[in-house]
Every structure is written in C-alpha cells, then in structure tokens.
C-alpha cells in the first residue's frame, strides 16, 4: 500500500492506494467515529456494501447506510435531503462519520451532506471509479448540480482520509475507465509533461486494466492534485488550472442533460477544445495539439461535440462558469508543455473560431 499526504496543516489527511483496502478495516476504522453512515448507490451496493458493513460492524460501531439511485441526474438537493432524513431518523449526532462508497456523484453529495449536517461532521472517501480516485475524492470540493449549472451549490469540506482500492476497478465498465483517464491526461497537460509522455507510451496497458500502470497513474495524479490543493485549497489561484477542459465540458453536460455524457467524456472533448484555442493563441505548438488529440483518442474519448449543439449553446452555459469574475469569461488554457494558466486574455475571435470548428 502507498500513502500520499494532502498537506493542509492540522487538517492534513492521507490518501491510501492499494488493494483489498475494503476489508482491511482496522486502518479504516481509525478514521471513523463510533457512528458511521455509509452513502452508496444502487450500482455499487450489490458489489461492495456488505463487505464494508460486515468489516465495520466487527468493531462494535453503529453502522447504517443509504443506497441512492445511480447517475449524475440524481446529484440534486432533493437527493441530498434524503441523506439528511436518514441521518436524523437514525439519530446520528455531531460525532458521526459519513463514508462515501461510490464514484464522483456519491463522493460529492456525501461530502456536501457532511459539510452541512449539524453544521459539519467528518467523512471518508472510498472512491470506486477511476475518475473519482484521481480527481473528485481528493481536495474537498463537494456539491450538487443545479439545472442552470454544474456544481453551483456546494462547499469546501476536506475528508479525514481517502482509500483508493484498485480492486474496485475490476468491475468498472470500459466507458467509465475511459472517462477517468480524461482526468489523468489532464494532469500531464497542466503540470507534468513527462507524465503526459509516460501516458502516451502506456495508454494501451492502462486501457487493458494493467494494475501496475494504473497504480502509477493514480499515484502520480493524486500527487499532483495534492500538491496543487496544498498551495490553494479554495481555488483562489493555481487550483483553478485543475479545470482544464471543464468549462467547455460542463457546457456539454448541462446542454445534454446530466448523465447523458459522462463527466470524463465531456472533459475529454473540452480539453481538445481548450488545446485548439491555445493553439490559435500561439501558446502551444501544433505538435502539442496533435499529441493531445491523439492521446485523448487513444483513451477512446470523444473528439467531437454532441450533434446539434451550437456555439451559442456553449456560450450560454459557459457564462455561468464558477471561474468567471465580474462578467468576464475565464478559461484554463495551455501555455507550453505541461504548463497552463487561467486567463480572460484570449481573443474573442479565436474563441468563436474554436467553437465554430467543433460545433455541427
């Protein structure tokens, strides 16, 4: 098992990466109170819930659970209220620990519930998808979607620990694996081009589920995210670079209806669009752009936007992005190999050219 620390002073926490962590509950129990409430979904519960509940109950802890409906379309305030109702009905107090057993939707909602319940209780992340393991489970961003924008209602609330179990990936559908690799590719593009080059060499093994390669990819992704979060916990500066491709991608998700495109799929085409705009601005070479496209294609992610989505559709949804300030659209763009920036200093004509190049 490998361990990475997210360095946030007295709120620092570990990320454990290994196999069979689910039943190795002695360590997990160290990060939980005597009142544990597991939040999962109807897809994950039949696979892993019983093992987790059995392991935790051997320590004499109070353990209850809720299995939410699966999918991004359920990442709402209404679903969140069902978590609160169960916590109250089962008399959980301020010493409760919530465990998020699931992908990014479960993790985001569990974290937000923990941030709000009795004004804040602790929680532990047990991400079951590659995307959640390398991105959403680390860093303390929690929240739910609104019909007008993704993740517009939420809070920063750091977990007590993150347990990343490679065994979860053995039941992960191929489409979900590809979606997770979008976020992995992102880290190479924004922060570590040598990692990007490693991904170019090893993408076939990653797609085949090679555990050694997946372990390294997860570890390096978490190291990069932990480093960025430690520098900028609440996204006042450098942390915003983690949103490469997300402004374009969130527009796709919102326009198509949450859940019709997976988050990683939307981020994949979003990164291609961001790279295209970066090329038009003269900030990256055509070589970097073509390699970016090729790697995203190798991960079997989309290289085109949804049929019928117009440039105006993109602009409408991009206008409510959280990175925008004072009515000014800000984007994460590439600025060389393994370098990125958050900027509103791009040519509007170039943005329009990018949008029209990708819209049908």
Catalytic residue of the set 246, 280, 291, 330: 246
Half-sphere exposure of residue 344: CA atoms within 13 angstroms, side-chain side:
11
DSSP state of 203: H
Q: Which residues pair with 101 in a beta bridge?
A: 126
Q: Catalytic residue at 246?
A: yes
Measured distance CA(137)–CA(12) in Å, rounded: 14
Question: Could you tell me if 269 and 248 are in contact, meaning their C-beta atoms sit under 8 angstroms apart?
Answer: yes
Tell me which residue has tokens 């909602």: 109
The single residue of 239, 280, 322, 330 carrying the catalytic annotation is: 239
- Is 150 among the residues known to form the active site? no
Name the β-bridge partners of 146: 149
Catalytic position from the list 220, 225, 322, 330? 225
Q: Is 225 a catalytic residue?
A: yes
Q: Active site residue: 250, 291, 322, 330, which one?
A: 250
Catalytic annotation present for 250: yes
Catalytic-residue membership of 57: no
| Residue 183 falls in the annotated catalytic set | yes
Catalytic residue among 141, 220, 291, 322: 141
Q: From the centroid of its chain, how far is CA 232?
A: 17
Active-site annotation holds for 239: yes
Q: Which residues contact 108 (CB under 8 A, 6 or more apart)?
A: 75, 136, 141, 142, 143, 144, 151, 154
Structure tokens at 244: 């490469």
Please report, for residues 42, 149, 322, the alpha-carbon distance to residue 344 in angstroms, rounded to integers and kept in the order given: 42, 20, 13
Q: Which residues are catalytic?
A: 119, 141, 183, 225, 235, 239, 243, 246, 250, 263
């Amino acid at each position: 098992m490998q361990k990475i620390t997210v360095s946030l002073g007295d709120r620092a926490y570990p990320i454990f990466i290994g196999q069979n962590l689910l039943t190795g509950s002695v360590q997990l129990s160290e990060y939980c109170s005597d009142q544990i409430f597991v939040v999962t979904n109807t897809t994950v519960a039949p696979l892993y819930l019983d093992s987790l509940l059995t392991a935790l109950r051997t320590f004499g802890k109070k353990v209850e659970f809720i299995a939410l409906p699966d999918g991004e379309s359920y990442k709402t305030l209404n679903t969140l209220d069902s978590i609160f109702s169960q916590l109250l009905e089962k008399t959980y107090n301020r010493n409760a620990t919530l465990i998020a057993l699931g992908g990014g939707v479960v993790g985001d909602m569990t974290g937000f519930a923990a941030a709000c319940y009795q004004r804040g209780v602790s929680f532990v992340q047990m991400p079951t998808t590659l995307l959640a393991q390398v991105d959403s489970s680390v860093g303390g961003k929690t929240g739910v979607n609104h019909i007008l924008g993704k993740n517009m209602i939420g809070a920063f609330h750091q977990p007590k620990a993150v347990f990343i179990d490679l065994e979860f990936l053995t039941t992960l559908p191929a489409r979900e694996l590809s979606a997770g690799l979008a976020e992995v590719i992102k880290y190479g593009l924004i922060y570590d081009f040598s990692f990007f080059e490693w991904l170019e060499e090893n993408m076939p093994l990653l797609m085949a589920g090679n555990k050694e390669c997946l372990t390294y990819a997860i570890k390096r992704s978490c190291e990069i995210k932990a480093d960025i979060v430690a520098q900028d916990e609440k996204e006042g500066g450098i942390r915003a670079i983690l949103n490469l491709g997300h402004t374009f991608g969130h527009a796709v998700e919102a326009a198509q209806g949450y859940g019709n495109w997976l988050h990683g799929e939307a981020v994949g085409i979003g990164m291609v669009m961001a790279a295209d705009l970066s090329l038009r601005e003269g900030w990256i070479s055509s070589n970097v752009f073509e390699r970016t496209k090729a790697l995203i294609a190798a991960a079997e992610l989309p290289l085109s936007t949804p049929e019928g989505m117009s440039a105006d559709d993109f602009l409408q949804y991009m206008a409510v992005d959280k990175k925008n300030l004072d009515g000014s659209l800000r984007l994460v763009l590439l600025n060389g190999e393994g370098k990125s920036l958050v900027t509103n200093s791009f040519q509007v004509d170039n943005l329009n050219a990018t949008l029209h190049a990708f819209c049908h």
